[in-house]
A and B are shown apart, each in its own frame.
Chain A
Amino acid sequence: GAVVSQHPSWVICKSGTSVKIECRSLDFQATTMFWYRQFPKQSLMLMATSNEGSKATYEQGVEKDKFLINHASLTLSTLTVTSAHPEDSSFYICSARVASGFYNEQFFGPGTRLTVL
């Protein structure tokens, strides 16, 4: 149980285009989903936290107009990288939280490799 999927697993796009990444919790309902970015050989940096039905909370330094997050249902969150540029090339990972009492656990998707040419 507690499987999180991401689609696509990789995408290559031209500079200036927008890319949408989907994150789904397959066998559970996730009230909260998180989006991370990871540059090569570095750690995961939290970009934003999204709660179903409300606006996402972005971390400091993350442009909310560039990284649009929609958490329309308890099983789906999307991240849209608008007007992507080469510096946006990165590994994007989502996670979903299962609320189980006081100790909440997060389950991670397999990641999406974005390459902007």
Chain B
Amino acid sequence: SQQGEEDPQALSIQEGENATMNCSYKTSINNLQWYRQNSGRGLVHLILIRSNEREKHSGRLRVTLDTSKKSSSLLITASRAADTASYFCATALTGANSKLTFGKGITLSVRP
């Protein structure tokens, strides 16, 4: 089974609102990453949080990691219509040569 599971599967919000997406995983990780994918396009790396970090910011993005609960959240503040996309969390297991395992993704729709 996949390592990461995002929640909710779909989210629809109004422009200007905040969007919170959650990701849970099952085993110990080296790092967790969030990606965005616009329809039919490649993945855009948003942010990487390491297992020894608890919170990270990048522009309007805020990511938290709770290793005790094996969960992460991605917060997009002041959402824009251009944020409409699918968002995936991906985990890298412990070990320098570990591969990424992706969750099923969250479809975010931001209404203008």
Residues of A within 8 A of B (CB): 6, 32, 34, 42-46, 49, 91, 93, 95, 99, 102-111, 113
Contact = CB atoms under 8 A, between A and B. Distances in A.
Contacts of A6: 42
Contact of B2 (A43, A49, A109, A110): A43
Interface residue SS majority, chain B: strand
Contacts, number: 54
B101 A42 contact: no
Contacts of A109: 42
B56 interface: no
B88 A111 contact: no
B102 interface: yes
Interface magnitude class on chain B: 20 to 34
21 contacts: A42-B105, A43-B2, A43-B103, A43-B105, A44-B43, A44-B88, A44-B102, A46-B99, A46-B101, A91-B40, A99-B96, A102-B96, A103-B31, A103-B48, A104-B97, A105-B48, A106-B33, A106-B100, A108-B43, A109-B42, A111-B41
Interface string B15-58: 00000000000000011010100001111110010100000000
